[in-house]
Copies of this chain bind each other. A is one copy, B any other.
């Protein structure tokens, strides 16, 4: 819980009382490697703040291929927010890639927090702002660069994540086949 408190205090000014009330709305969950925190098609009734380990948020298409929207490690949030906000079946599954720990807040408690603690609006406005800027940058890179460039960018931006992932997982994030990623890696190794 200290990790979450520290994280929040970096983003906003908040009294200890309000900070404790807000953090009291979270439940700590331990989850083992390869287990699912959410299954595609279910309702996502939580937003998670990761305190240990590594997760991935992915979807499986009609042909059985996996596609990864993002990976999350300590101090990142993880949720199918479309499902969480609009109460529609989740597009994504969330899986622990290592033995992991996450703090979960459910819809009811998040609503309570918004109603009772004014600073929480600012907190989530800033969190969403940062996440949105990062996703806009990734989106334009995805449109405008080759898979080779995207792979190198991923290694450069998330070195602490990349080394913990398999080829298949990274390929599913870059939007290429594992075979194509192997080809890219060989090309880079040669040059």
Chain A residues packing against B (C-beta within 8 Å): 59, 61, 65, 67-69, 81-82, 85-86, 91-92, 114, 118, 121-122, 124-125, 128-129, 131-133, 135-140, 142-144, 172-175
CB pair B69–A142 under 8 Å, yes or no, is no
Q: A118-B118, A128-B132, A137-B91 are in contact. Are A144 and B59 (CB under 8 A)?
A: yes
Measured in the bound complex, the distance between the Cα atoms of B92 and A125 in whole Å is 23
CB pair B143–A82 under 8 Å, yes or no, is no
Residues from chain B with a CB closer than 8 A to the CB of A129 are 81, 85, 124, 128
Measured in the bound complex, the distance between the Cα atoms of B58 and A84 in whole Å is 31
What are 20 residue pairs bridging A and B, where the CB atoms are less than 8 Å apart in the complex? Answer: A59-B140, A59-B144, A65-B144, A68-B143, A82-B137, A85-B129, A92-B140, A118-B118, A121-B121, A121-B122, A125-B125, A125-B128, A135-B136, A135-B139, A138-B139, A139-B142, A142-B142, A142-B143, A143-B174, A143-B175
